[in-house]
Amino acid sequence: MQLRNLLIAAVLLACLGGLVWWSNKTQKEKEGKPDIAASPKIVEIPADQIKQIELVKAGQPATVLVRESGNYRITAPKPLRADQDAASSVATALASLLSDRVVEEKAADFAPYGLNSPTIAVKVTKTDGKDVTLLIGDETPTGSGAFCRLGGDPRVFTIASYNKSSFDKTWKDLQDKRLVTFDSDKLTRLQLIAKGQTVEFGKNNQNEWQVIAPKPLRADGGAVEELIRKVKDARMDTSLSDDELKKIAAPWGSASPVAVVKVTDAARTQQLDVRKSKDNTYYAKGTGAEGVHKATTDLGDGLNKSLDDFRNKKIFDFGWSDPTKLTFKDGKTNLTIDKSGDKWMAAGKEMDSVSVRNLIDKLRDLASIKFLDQGSPPADIEVTVTSNEGKRVEKVRAGKSGDRFLAVRENEPSVYELDGKAVEELQKAAAGVKPPEPPKKDAAKK
Protein backbone atom coordinates (compact mmCIF):
# COMPACT_ATOMS: atom_id res chain seq x y z
CA MET A 1 0.00 0.00 0.00
CA GLN A 2 2.83 2.34 0.91
CA LEU A 3 4.59 1.62 -2.42
CA ARG A 4 1.40 2.38 -4.32
CA ASN A 5 1.02 5.78 -2.66
CA LEU A 6 4.61 6.64 -3.51
CA LEU A 7 4.01 5.79 -7.18
CA ILE A 8 0.89 8.00 -7.31
CA ALA A 9 2.78 10.91 -5.72
CA ALA A 10 5.62 10.53 -8.23
CA VAL A 11 3.19 10.62 -11.18
CA LEU A 12 1.49 13.76 -9.84
CA LEU A 13 4.83 15.45 -9.28
CA ALA A 14 5.88 14.67 -12.84
CA CYS A 15 2.63 16.12 -14.20
CA LEU A 16 3.06 19.29 -12.18
CA GLY A 17 6.62 19.68 -13.39
CA GLY A 18 5.45 19.27 -16.98
CA LEU A 19 2.83 22.00 -16.58
CA VAL A 20 5.41 24.40 -15.15
CA TRP A 21 7.79 23.64 -18.03
CA TRP A 22 5.06 24.18 -20.63
CA SER A 23 3.98 27.46 -19.01
CA ASN A 24 7.53 28.80 -18.99
CA LYS A 25 8.08 27.70 -22.59
CA THR A 26 4.85 29.44 -23.75
CA GLN A 27 5.74 32.63 -21.91
CA LYS A 28 9.18 32.72 -23.55
CA GLU A 29 7.62 32.22 -26.96
CA LYS A 30 5.31 35.22 -26.33
CA GLU A 31 8.18 37.46 -25.33
CA GLY A 32 9.01 39.91 -28.12
CA LYS A 33 5.77 39.14 -30.01
CA PRO A 34 2.84 41.64 -30.07
CA ASP A 35 -0.53 40.64 -28.64
CA ILE A 36 -2.99 40.46 -31.53
CA ALA A 37 -5.90 41.24 -29.20
CA ALA A 38 -4.20 44.37 -27.75
CA SER A 39 -5.35 47.93 -28.61
CA PRO A 40 -2.23 49.89 -29.59
CA LYS A 41 -2.17 53.48 -30.73
CA ILE A 42 -2.44 53.79 -34.49
CA VAL A 43 -1.17 57.34 -34.71
CA GLU A 44 -0.14 60.07 -32.29
CA ILE A 45 0.38 63.59 -33.66
CA PRO A 46 0.17 66.55 -31.26
CA ALA A 47 -1.91 69.42 -32.64
CA ASP A 48 1.02 71.84 -32.61
CA GLN A 49 2.97 69.49 -34.91
CA ILE A 50 0.32 69.59 -37.65
CA LYS A 51 0.97 71.80 -40.67
CA GLN A 52 -1.69 70.47 -43.07
CA ILE A 53 -4.51 67.92 -43.12
CA GLU A 54 -5.87 66.55 -46.39
CA LEU A 55 -9.18 64.66 -46.21
CA VAL A 56 -10.36 62.63 -49.19
CA LYS A 57 -13.72 60.86 -49.23
CA ALA A 58 -14.39 58.42 -52.05
CA GLY A 59 -15.98 60.26 -54.97
CA GLN A 60 -15.39 63.70 -53.38
CA PRO A 61 -12.75 66.35 -54.06
CA ALA A 62 -9.99 66.63 -51.48
CA THR A 63 -10.50 69.02 -48.58
CA VAL A 64 -7.24 70.64 -47.45
CA LEU A 65 -6.87 72.33 -44.07
CA VAL A 66 -3.76 74.45 -43.54
CA ARG A 67 -2.72 75.46 -40.04
CA GLU A 68 -1.15 78.89 -39.61
CA SER A 69 -0.51 80.71 -36.32
CA GLY A 70 -2.66 78.17 -34.49
CA ASN A 71 -5.71 78.62 -36.76
CA TYR A 72 -6.96 76.61 -39.72
CA ARG A 73 -8.10 77.75 -43.15
CA ILE A 74 -9.44 75.75 -46.09
CA THR A 75 -7.34 75.97 -49.25
CA ALA A 76 -9.06 73.27 -51.34
CA PRO A 77 -11.32 72.58 -53.15
CA LYS A 78 -11.55 76.41 -52.85
CA PRO A 79 -10.29 79.01 -50.39
CA LEU A 80 -12.67 79.32 -47.44
CA ARG A 81 -12.69 80.28 -43.79
CA ALA A 82 -12.64 77.21 -41.57
CA ASP A 83 -14.81 76.52 -38.57
CA GLN A 84 -12.05 76.42 -35.96
CA ASP A 85 -13.94 74.06 -33.64
CA ALA A 86 -14.69 71.60 -36.45
CA ALA A 87 -11.13 71.70 -37.78
CA SER A 88 -9.68 71.29 -34.30
CA SER A 89 -11.84 68.21 -33.72
CA VAL A 90 -10.10 66.50 -36.66
CA ALA A 91 -6.71 67.42 -35.22
CA THR A 92 -7.79 66.17 -31.78
CA ALA A 93 -8.70 62.78 -33.24
CA LEU A 94 -5.16 62.53 -34.67
CA ALA A 95 -3.53 63.41 -31.36
CA SER A 96 -4.15 59.91 -30.00
CA LEU A 97 -5.99 57.49 -32.28
CA LEU A 98 -6.48 54.13 -30.56
CA SER A 99 -7.41 50.90 -32.31
CA ASP A 100 -10.03 48.51 -31.04
CA ARG A 101 -7.73 45.64 -31.96
CA VAL A 102 -5.12 44.43 -34.45
CA VAL A 103 -6.74 42.19 -37.06
CA GLU A 104 -3.55 41.17 -38.91
CA GLU A 105 0.09 41.85 -38.14
CA LYS A 106 1.28 41.36 -41.71
CA ALA A 107 -1.61 41.45 -44.15
CA ALA A 108 -0.76 39.93 -47.54
CA ASP A 109 -3.86 41.45 -49.13
CA PHE A 110 -5.71 44.60 -48.04
CA ALA A 111 -8.60 44.14 -50.46
CA PRO A 112 -10.78 42.08 -48.07
CA TYR A 113 -10.80 45.07 -45.73
CA GLY A 114 -11.62 47.66 -48.38
CA LEU A 115 -8.20 49.23 -47.93
CA ASN A 116 -7.05 49.05 -51.53
CA SER A 117 -9.74 51.60 -52.39
CA PRO A 118 -10.35 53.29 -49.02
CA THR A 119 -13.55 55.19 -48.31
CA ILE A 120 -11.56 57.85 -46.44
CA ALA A 121 -7.91 58.87 -46.72
CA VAL A 122 -6.32 61.27 -44.24
CA LYS A 123 -2.91 62.67 -45.12
CA VAL A 124 -1.19 64.73 -42.44
CA THR A 125 1.86 66.87 -43.16
CA LYS A 126 3.76 67.63 -39.98
CA THR A 127 5.78 70.72 -39.22
CA ASP A 128 8.97 68.68 -39.69
CA GLY A 129 7.94 67.97 -43.30
CA LYS A 130 7.09 64.29 -42.74
CA ASP A 131 3.79 62.83 -43.95
CA VAL A 132 1.49 60.36 -42.19
CA THR A 133 -1.36 58.74 -44.11
CA LEU A 134 -4.34 57.03 -42.49
CA LEU A 135 -6.56 54.86 -44.71
CA ILE A 136 -10.05 53.82 -43.61
CA GLY A 137 -11.85 51.00 -45.42
CA ASP A 138 -14.98 48.90 -44.99
CA GLU A 139 -17.11 48.62 -41.90
CA THR A 140 -16.51 45.66 -39.61
CA PRO A 141 -19.03 42.78 -39.84
CA THR A 142 -20.72 43.97 -36.64
CA GLY A 143 -21.07 47.50 -38.02
CA SER A 144 -19.61 49.02 -34.85
CA GLY A 145 -16.33 50.07 -36.43
CA ALA A 146 -14.17 50.11 -39.55
CA PHE A 147 -10.92 48.63 -40.80
CA CYS A 148 -7.94 50.92 -41.19
CA ARG A 149 -4.18 51.01 -41.70
CA LEU A 150 -1.30 53.44 -41.93
CA GLY A 151 0.50 53.98 -45.20
CA GLY A 152 3.63 51.81 -45.26
CA ASP A 153 2.43 49.72 -42.30
CA PRO A 154 1.40 46.07 -42.97
CA ARG A 155 -0.90 45.92 -39.94
CA VAL A 156 -4.67 46.08 -40.22
CA PHE A 157 -6.60 47.62 -37.32
CA THR A 158 -10.20 48.25 -36.41
CA ILE A 159 -11.38 51.57 -35.03
CA ALA A 160 -14.68 52.55 -33.44
CA SER A 161 -17.34 54.19 -35.61
CA TYR A 162 -17.07 57.46 -33.68
CA ASN A 163 -13.37 57.63 -34.58
CA LYS A 164 -14.21 57.10 -38.23
CA SER A 165 -16.81 59.87 -38.10
CA SER A 166 -14.11 62.30 -36.91
CA PHE A 167 -12.53 62.04 -40.38
CA ASP A 168 -15.71 61.58 -42.42
CA LYS A 169 -15.77 65.27 -43.39
CA THR A 170 -15.89 67.44 -46.50
CA TRP A 171 -15.21 71.14 -46.99
CA LYS A 172 -18.89 71.83 -46.34
CA ASP A 173 -18.64 70.28 -42.90
CA LEU A 174 -15.48 72.20 -42.03
CA GLN A 175 -16.17 75.66 -43.41
CA ASP A 176 -17.14 78.59 -41.22
CA LYS A 177 -20.93 78.73 -41.51
CA ARG A 178 -21.47 82.16 -39.94
CA LEU A 179 -23.14 84.77 -42.13
CA VAL A 180 -21.21 87.51 -40.34
CA THR A 181 -17.96 87.02 -38.45
CA PHE A 182 -16.96 89.28 -35.61
CA ASP A 183 -15.41 89.16 -32.18
CA SER A 184 -18.26 89.95 -29.79
CA ASP A 185 -15.77 90.72 -27.00
CA LYS A 186 -14.28 93.49 -29.13
CA LEU A 187 -17.53 94.87 -30.53
CA THR A 188 -17.58 98.67 -30.28
CA ARG A 189 -20.56 99.71 -32.37
CA LEU A 190 -23.88 98.19 -33.39
CA GLN A 191 -26.52 99.59 -35.72
CA LEU A 192 -30.04 98.23 -36.32
CA ILE A 193 -32.29 99.48 -39.12
CA ALA A 194 -35.80 98.09 -38.62
CA LYS A 195 -39.40 99.26 -38.38
CA GLY A 196 -38.50 102.48 -40.18
CA GLN A 197 -35.96 103.47 -37.50
CA THR A 198 -32.19 103.50 -37.24
CA VAL A 199 -30.96 102.68 -33.76
CA GLU A 200 -27.27 102.81 -32.95
CA PHE A 201 -25.57 101.45 -29.85
CA GLY A 202 -22.15 102.17 -28.35
CA LYS A 203 -20.25 101.53 -25.12
CA ASN A 204 -19.97 104.06 -22.26
CA ASN A 205 -17.08 104.51 -19.83
CA GLN A 206 -18.33 101.57 -17.74
CA ASN A 207 -18.26 99.35 -20.86
CA GLU A 208 -22.06 99.24 -20.84
CA TRP A 209 -24.22 99.43 -23.96
CA GLN A 210 -26.03 102.72 -24.49
CA VAL A 211 -28.30 104.07 -27.23
CA ILE A 212 -26.40 106.82 -29.06
CA ALA A 213 -28.83 107.40 -31.95
CA PRO A 214 -31.41 108.69 -32.71
CA LYS A 215 -30.56 110.31 -29.34
CA PRO A 216 -28.59 109.34 -26.23
CA LEU A 217 -30.64 107.00 -24.06
CA ARG A 218 -30.04 104.31 -21.47
CA ALA A 219 -30.08 100.86 -23.06
CA ASP A 220 -31.24 97.50 -21.76
CA GLY A 221 -27.89 95.68 -21.83
CA GLY A 222 -29.54 92.27 -21.83
CA ALA A 223 -31.68 93.12 -24.87
CA VAL A 224 -28.65 94.44 -26.78
CA GLU A 225 -26.60 91.34 -25.94
CA GLU A 226 -29.49 89.14 -27.11
CA LEU A 227 -29.55 91.03 -30.43
CA ILE A 228 -25.79 90.44 -30.80
CA ARG A 229 -26.24 86.73 -30.02
CA LYS A 230 -28.90 86.31 -32.69
CA VAL A 231 -26.71 88.00 -35.30
CA LYS A 232 -23.67 85.96 -34.30
CA ASP A 233 -25.65 82.70 -34.47
CA ALA A 234 -26.95 83.33 -38.02
CA ARG A 235 -25.72 80.34 -40.04
CA MET A 236 -25.86 78.97 -43.56
CA ASP A 237 -27.12 75.46 -44.29
CA THR A 238 -24.18 73.71 -45.99
CA SER A 239 -26.15 70.53 -46.63
CA LEU A 240 -28.01 72.15 -49.53
CA SER A 241 -27.00 71.58 -53.14
CA ASP A 242 -26.15 74.38 -55.57
CA ASP A 243 -29.54 73.99 -57.23
CA GLU A 244 -31.33 74.28 -53.88
CA LEU A 245 -29.32 77.41 -53.06
CA LYS A 246 -30.37 78.96 -56.38
CA LYS A 247 -34.03 78.32 -55.54
CA ILE A 248 -33.56 79.98 -52.15
CA ALA A 249 -31.96 83.05 -53.74
CA ALA A 250 -34.80 83.54 -56.22
CA PRO A 251 -37.34 85.22 -53.83
CA TRP A 252 -34.75 87.63 -52.40
CA GLY A 253 -35.41 90.47 -54.81
CA SER A 254 -39.18 90.54 -54.16
CA ALA A 255 -39.02 89.85 -50.41
CA SER A 256 -39.80 92.67 -47.96
CA PRO A 257 -36.89 94.10 -45.96
CA VAL A 258 -37.12 93.25 -42.26
CA ALA A 259 -33.85 94.50 -40.79
CA VAL A 260 -30.28 95.47 -41.53
CA VAL A 261 -27.67 95.05 -38.81
CA LYS A 262 -24.17 96.53 -38.97
CA VAL A 263 -21.59 95.34 -36.45
CA THR A 264 -18.18 96.93 -35.90
CA ASP A 265 -15.34 95.28 -34.02
CA ALA A 266 -11.63 96.06 -33.89
CA ALA A 267 -11.13 94.64 -37.39
CA ARG A 268 -13.96 95.95 -39.57
CA THR A 269 -17.68 96.60 -40.06
CA GLN A 270 -19.92 93.82 -41.36
CA GLN A 271 -23.55 93.71 -42.36
CA LEU A 272 -26.46 91.27 -42.14
CA ASP A 273 -29.64 91.79 -44.21
CA VAL A 274 -32.85 89.93 -43.40
CA ARG A 275 -35.97 89.84 -45.60
CA LYS A 276 -39.33 88.10 -45.49
CA SER A 277 -41.19 86.61 -48.44
CA LYS A 278 -44.95 86.55 -48.98
CA ASP A 279 -45.15 83.03 -47.55
CA ASN A 280 -43.55 84.33 -44.29
CA THR A 281 -40.18 82.68 -44.95
CA TYR A 282 -37.16 84.62 -43.73
CA TYR A 283 -34.02 84.98 -45.84
CA ALA A 284 -30.63 86.38 -44.86
CA LYS A 285 -27.54 87.67 -46.59
CA GLY A 286 -24.30 88.46 -44.77
CA THR A 287 -20.95 89.95 -45.73
CA GLY A 288 -19.21 86.95 -44.19
CA ALA A 289 -20.65 84.40 -46.62
CA GLU A 290 -21.60 84.07 -50.26
CA GLY A 291 -25.20 83.99 -51.46
CA VAL A 292 -28.65 84.09 -49.91
CA HIS A 293 -29.67 81.66 -47.17
CA LYS A 294 -32.81 80.73 -45.36
CA ALA A 295 -33.04 82.28 -41.91
CA THR A 296 -34.81 81.07 -38.80
CA THR A 297 -37.95 82.69 -37.44
CA ASP A 298 -35.98 83.31 -34.25
CA LEU A 299 -33.53 85.48 -36.19
CA GLY A 300 -36.18 87.30 -38.21
CA ASP A 301 -38.39 88.10 -35.23
CA GLY A 302 -35.38 88.89 -33.06
CA LEU A 303 -34.21 91.63 -35.43
CA ASN A 304 -37.65 93.08 -36.13
CA LYS A 305 -37.46 95.40 -33.12
CA SER A 306 -38.03 99.10 -32.41
CA LEU A 307 -36.11 101.57 -30.26
CA ASP A 308 -38.32 101.02 -27.21
CA ASP A 309 -37.48 97.30 -27.23
CA PHE A 310 -33.88 98.21 -26.34
CA ARG A 311 -34.46 101.03 -23.86
CA ASN A 312 -33.74 100.43 -20.20
CA LYS A 313 -37.06 100.30 -18.36
CA LYS A 314 -35.47 100.16 -14.91
CA ILE A 315 -35.45 103.53 -13.16
CA PHE A 316 -32.18 102.80 -11.33
CA ASP A 317 -28.98 101.31 -12.72
CA PHE A 318 -27.34 100.03 -9.54
CA GLY A 319 -28.66 96.53 -10.23
CA TRP A 320 -27.11 93.92 -7.93
CA SER A 321 -24.40 96.30 -6.75
CA ASP A 322 -25.87 97.24 -3.39
CA PRO A 323 -26.01 100.97 -2.60
CA THR A 324 -23.73 102.46 0.00
CA LYS A 325 -26.02 105.42 0.62
CA LEU A 326 -29.56 106.41 -0.21
CA THR A 327 -31.96 109.23 0.58
CA PHE A 328 -35.73 109.13 0.24
CA LYS A 329 -37.99 112.12 0.63
CA ASP A 330 -41.74 112.45 0.22
CA GLY A 331 -44.53 114.17 2.11
CA LYS A 332 -44.26 111.79 5.09
CA THR A 333 -40.74 110.40 4.99
CA ASN A 334 -37.33 112.10 5.08
CA LEU A 335 -34.77 109.32 5.26
CA THR A 336 -31.00 109.19 4.80
CA ILE A 337 -29.21 105.91 5.42
CA ASP A 338 -25.55 104.92 4.98
CA LYS A 339 -23.82 101.54 4.84
CA SER A 340 -21.23 101.10 7.58
CA GLY A 341 -19.59 97.68 7.40
CA ASP A 342 -22.51 95.28 7.45
CA LYS A 343 -24.85 97.74 9.17
CA TRP A 344 -27.19 100.42 7.89
CA MET A 345 -27.13 103.66 9.87
CA ALA A 346 -29.53 106.64 9.96
CA ALA A 347 -28.86 109.71 12.09
CA GLY A 348 -26.28 107.73 14.04
CA LYS A 349 -28.67 104.87 14.79
CA GLU A 350 -28.60 101.35 13.40
CA MET A 351 -31.52 100.49 11.14
CA ASP A 352 -33.20 97.13 10.77
CA SER A 353 -31.43 95.45 7.82
CA VAL A 354 -34.56 93.60 6.68
CA SER A 355 -36.57 96.82 6.33
CA VAL A 356 -33.67 98.51 4.50
CA ARG A 357 -33.31 95.52 2.18
CA ASN A 358 -37.03 95.73 1.38
CA LEU A 359 -36.64 99.37 0.34
CA ILE A 360 -33.56 98.59 -1.80
CA ASP A 361 -35.44 95.75 -3.53
CA LYS A 362 -38.36 98.06 -4.33
CA LEU A 363 -35.97 100.64 -5.81
CA ARG A 364 -34.13 97.96 -7.80
CA ASP A 365 -37.40 96.61 -9.27
CA LEU A 366 -38.98 99.99 -10.04
CA ALA A 367 -39.56 100.05 -13.80
CA SER A 368 -41.33 102.05 -16.44
CA ILE A 369 -44.55 100.79 -17.98
CA LYS A 370 -44.32 103.33 -20.79
CA PHE A 371 -41.88 105.85 -22.26
CA LEU A 372 -43.14 109.38 -22.85
CA ASP A 373 -41.77 112.03 -25.17
CA GLN A 374 -42.33 114.84 -22.69
CA GLY A 375 -43.54 115.61 -19.20
CA SER A 376 -42.31 117.05 -15.92
CA PRO A 377 -43.51 115.40 -12.73
CA PRO A 378 -43.78 117.40 -9.50
CA ALA A 379 -41.20 116.61 -6.83
CA ASP A 380 -43.56 114.52 -4.71
CA ILE A 381 -40.80 111.94 -4.27
CA GLU A 382 -37.04 112.52 -4.47
CA VAL A 383 -34.61 109.62 -4.30
CA THR A 384 -30.81 109.59 -4.49
CA VAL A 385 -28.90 106.31 -4.64
CA THR A 386 -25.08 106.08 -4.38
CA SER A 387 -23.46 102.80 -5.48
CA ASN A 388 -20.40 101.31 -7.21
CA GLU A 389 -18.08 102.49 -4.45
CA GLY A 390 -19.36 106.03 -4.78
CA LYS A 391 -18.73 106.22 -8.54
CA ARG A 392 -22.42 106.08 -9.47
CA VAL A 393 -24.91 108.60 -8.08
CA GLU A 394 -28.48 108.42 -9.39
CA LYS A 395 -31.06 111.09 -8.64
CA VAL A 396 -34.72 110.55 -9.50
CA ARG A 397 -37.75 112.80 -9.13
CA ALA A 398 -41.24 111.30 -9.27
CA GLY A 399 -44.79 112.48 -8.75
CA LYS A 400 -48.35 112.34 -9.89
CA SER A 401 -49.21 114.28 -13.03
CA GLY A 402 -52.93 114.12 -13.70
CA ASP A 403 -53.91 110.49 -13.29
CA ARG A 404 -50.40 109.14 -14.00
CA PHE A 405 -47.22 108.72 -11.97
CA LEU A 406 -44.20 110.04 -13.84
CA ALA A 407 -40.47 109.92 -13.11
CA VAL A 408 -37.34 111.55 -14.53
CA ARG A 409 -33.66 110.92 -13.91
CA GLU A 410 -31.36 113.87 -13.37
CA ASN A 411 -29.69 115.13 -16.57
CA GLU A 412 -31.61 112.70 -18.80
CA PRO A 413 -34.37 113.51 -21.29
CA SER A 414 -36.47 110.38 -20.78
CA VAL A 415 -39.81 110.52 -19.02
CA TYR A 416 -40.96 107.27 -17.46
CA GLU A 417 -44.54 106.38 -16.61
CA LEU A 418 -44.74 104.29 -13.45
CA ASP A 419 -47.31 101.85 -12.15
CA GLY A 420 -49.22 103.55 -9.34
CA LYS A 421 -49.28 100.46 -7.16
CA ALA A 422 -45.49 100.10 -7.43
CA VAL A 423 -45.08 103.72 -6.27
CA GLU A 424 -47.35 103.12 -3.26
CA GLU A 425 -45.38 100.01 -2.28
CA LEU A 426 -42.13 101.99 -2.58
CA GLN A 427 -43.49 104.70 -0.25
CA LYS A 428 -44.61 102.06 2.28
CA ALA A 429 -41.18 100.42 2.17
CA ALA A 430 -39.46 103.78 2.85
CA ALA A 431 -41.83 104.55 5.74
CA GLY A 432 -41.17 101.05 7.10
CA VAL A 433 -37.42 101.54 7.59
CA LYS A 434 -36.91 101.52 11.37
CA PRO A 435 -34.42 100.58 14.05
CA PRO A 436 -34.20 96.91 14.93
CA GLU A 437 -36.53 95.67 17.63
CA PRO A 438 -34.89 95.14 21.02
CA PRO A 439 -34.12 91.52 21.90
CA LYS A 440 -36.93 89.72 23.70
CA LYS A 441 -36.38 89.01 27.37
CA ASP A 442 -36.15 85.40 28.45
CA ALA A 443 -39.55 84.47 29.91
CA ALA A 444 -37.85 82.37 32.58
CA LYS A 445 -36.08 85.45 33.98
CA LYS A 446 -39.25 87.49 34.44
Q: What is the pLDDT of residue 309?
A: 96
User: What is the C-alpha separation between 334 and 331, in angstroms, rounded?
Assistant: 8
Q: What is the pLDDT of residue 26?
A: 43
Q: What is the pLDDT of residue 445?
A: 53
Q: Are 166 and 204 in contact (CB under 8 A)?
A: no
As annotated, the residues of the chain forming the CATH 2.60.40 domain(s) are: 41-174
Mean pLDDT, rounded, for 385-393: 93
Q: What is the pLDDT of residue 5?
A: 54
What architecture is the 41-174 domain classified under in CATH?
Answer: Sandwich (2.60)
User: What is the C-alpha separation between 423 and 420, in angstroms, rounded?
Assistant: 5
Q: pLDDT per residue over 222-238, tens digit each?
A: 999 999 999 999 999 98
Give how far the C-alpha of residue 16 lies from the chain's centroid of Cα atoms, to the nearest Å. 67
Asked whether residue 31 carries a pLDDT value surpassing 50, the answer given is no
Asked whether residue 1 carries a pLDDT value surpassing 80, the answer given is no
The model's confidence at residue 71, banded by pLDDT at 50, 70 and 90, is very high
Mean pLDDT, rounded, for 331-344: 93
User: What is the C-alpha separation between 327 and 329, in angstroms, rounded?
Assistant: 7
Q: pLDDT per residue over 273-301, tens digit each?
A: 999 999 999 999 999 998 999 999 999 99
Asked whether residue 32 carries a pLDDT value surpassing 60, the answer given is no
Q: Are 230 and 299 in contact (CB under 8 A)?
A: yes
Q: What is the pLDDT of residue 12?
A: 52
User: What is the C-alpha separation between 106 and 170, in angstroms, rounded?
Assistant: 32
